[in-house]
Amino acid sequence: MKHIVSPFCLHQRARPGFFLLDVLLGVTIFSIFVGFAGSSLLFSQQTVIKSGDRIRGSSLSQKAIEATRSISYEDFDSVQAGTFGIQIGADGKWEFAGIETVSSDGFTTWVDITLPGDDRIEVVATTSWSFGQQRFGMSSIATTLANWHQVKETGNWSMISEEGSFVDETVPLFNDIATDGNYAFVTSEDSTGGAGLYVFDMSNLSFPTRIADGFALGAAGYQLVVSGNVLYILTSMPGSELMAYDITSPDTFSAANLLGTFNLPGSARGQSLAIFGDTLFVGAVFDGVEDELYALDVYDLSDIQLLDSIGGDGNFLGLSLHDGYAYIASSEDVSELTVMDVFDPNDLQVAPGAGYNLTDVLDGTAVTTFGSFVLLGRDVGDVTQELVLFEIEESPIPTPPPGPWYHTMGAKVNALDRDPTGSYAFVASEYEGGEFQVMDMTLFQAGQLPRVAIGDTETGNGRGVYYDPQIDRVFFTTNTALIIYKPS
């Protein structure tokens, strides 16, 4: 007798195999999901740990800088060139010890000291760490310490004279200036034949001499800053808005000195620069899409890293750092003075209150800070006072009274600087007959006429100004000239 098996029975017998396959497939998918989620969590955790290492390293480097400062204040002449560790001595004071110091949590710190002169100490504090293949790095901070015991008076800038000048036969439209020892670096436009960057030998201030005259930046050069042996320049070069050059040997300066570049979002937007340690802050032209303030890690110039950025509502044309805040000359109509909290460069924030709204809508164009004051320059207007002094002793955002105090320039202010004591401010403007002007800050704070000296030039508008405290001189640029002023 035949035994007939129905299709239904065949289906039932096959089910256990399919069920096992479903289970295996489900387990596999779940494992992949768990693995992906676990990897994401692990990556996030590693990122947080690495960030913590970086903050710890920066903190130890900064502590080493302050320790060296303390030692130099005790006895400036006792500080020698070399590489040293730092420790607390038996007397409770900082002292040099060995060639490095290892913290209890495994970070190694040392300071490299050079003595470029009898009144200056160059210090580079470095902290390194290595906790396996995923956790290693290095953080470095550089600074210059002056011999504050040495009496060095600022001259009487209420009387000035021209000490020397360099005049270009073309129209380079010179911009910003920075000095390093006996050398000056000056940027320019390139639209009228300018080289973008000029290098000058200033060993004879009466006759500044252009050197490396075969060099051309290949783009317009805007603001620049010197830190240690590195020159940072903002340019109009697409893809390389920030350039960093080695200036160890300015006499042989060439394209080969380029150490690294950074491409800001957008095209040729960089306008203002300031540096603290190994963090470079860049202000940019308003974009509407991209941010306007950038914090860059420039420890490794071959791989400059973006730490953070933050947006604004105007062009950030001037930038000055003071007590953990960035004071910005902005084109924003309701905040010509904009203030950002940059204490943690990994987390830039708008300072509470954001800034100060001046009358009219004219742009803030230049800014400098000193003591408990901020000096802002503006564009020219029919009834606008172009120079404004703010007091910030009680709050990072000006909260009058006292101040603000105003002075009418009668022309656009293009650049500002001041001496370290805040006694004088130096102004580059477009005022015909007084392109260079000196302001007495004590008179300004007293509500009196602050202008005490004027420099008139036939070489075009005032475009850049830089005070060198080591030699008590002001370097001033116009459309076609670099001029050196001295006090009486």
Give the CATH number of the domain where residue 311 resides: 2.130.10.10
The answer as to whether 198 is a domain residue is yes
Does residue 255 share a domain with residue 139? Answer: no
Confidence of residue 39 (pLDDT cuts 50, 70, 90): low
Quote the pLDDT of residue 25. 62
pLDDT surpasses 90 at 160: yes
Mean of the per-residue pLDDT values of the chain: 88
Please tell me whether residues 227 and 374 are part of one structural domain.
Answer: yes
**Phi and psi (nearest 5°) for 486?**
-130, 155
Is the domain of 379 the same as that of 353? yes
Domain span including residue 111: 74-152
Domain boundary at 103, 119, 152, which?
Answer: 152
Banded pLDDT at 30 (limits 50, 70, 90): low
Please tell me whether residues 145 and 198 are part of one structural domain: no
Task: Return the pLDDT at 141.
Answer: 86
Is a pLDDT exceeding 70 seen at residue 217?
A: yes
In a domain, 19, yes or no: no
Residue 341 belongs to some domain of the structure: yes
> Which one is predicted more confidently, 185 or 90?
185
Q: Which of 100, 133, 152 is where one domain is finished?
A: 152
Q: Looking at residue 316, what is its pLDDT? A: 96
Distance (Å, whole) CA 322 – CA 99: 32
Model pLDDT, residue 10: 40
Instruction: Give percent above pLDDT 90 in the chain.
Output: 68
Residues 430, 327 share a domain: yes
pLDDT band, very low/low/confident/very high, at 278 (cuts 50, 70, 90): confident
Q: Which residue has the higher pLDDT, 467 or 44?
A: 467
- What pLDDT sits at residue 382? 82
Please tell me the total count of domains within the chain.
Answer: 2
Name the pLDDT band for 299 (thresholds 50, 70, 90).
confident
Residue 402 resides in a domain: yes
> Are 148 and 283 in a shared domain?
no
Domain identity same for 148 and 168:
no
In a domain, 215, yes or no: yes
Choose between 150 and 301: higher pLDDT: 301
Confidence of residue 44 (pLDDT cuts 50, 70, 90): low
22 pLDDT more than 80: no
pLDDT of residue 29: 63
8 pLDDT tier (thresholds 50, 70, 90): very low
Residue 11 predicted with pLDDT over 80: no
Report the pLDDT averaged over residues 46-67.
82
**283 and 387 in one domain?**
yes
Q: Band of the pLDDT at 482, cuts 50, 70, 90?
A: very high
Q: Tell whether 290 and 437 lie within a shared domain.
A: yes
Tell me whether residue 11 is in a domain: no
Regarding whether 164 and 148 lie in a shared domain, the answer is: no
Instruction: Supply the pLDDT for residue 54.
Output: 82
Q: What is the pLDDT of residues 400-457, one digit of tens each?
A: 999 899 999 999 999 999 998 899 999 999 999 999 999 999 999 999 999 999 999 9
7 — pLDDT class (breaks 50, 70, 90): very low
Express each pLDDT in 415-428 by its tens digit: 999 998 899 999 99
Give the Å distances, CA to CA, from 476 to 143, 179, 327, 338, 432.
25, 12, 23, 26, 15
Predicted confidence (pLDDT) at residue 193 exceeds the cutoff of 70: yes
Same domain assignment for residues 204 and 290: yes
Q: Is the pLDDT of residue 323 over 80?
A: yes
**Average pLDDT in the 80-109 region?**
92
Q: Looking at the domain assignment, is residue 67 inside a domain?
A: no
Residues 313 and 225 both lie in one domain: yes
CA distance 87 to 97: 6
What pLDDT sits at residue 56? Answer: 86
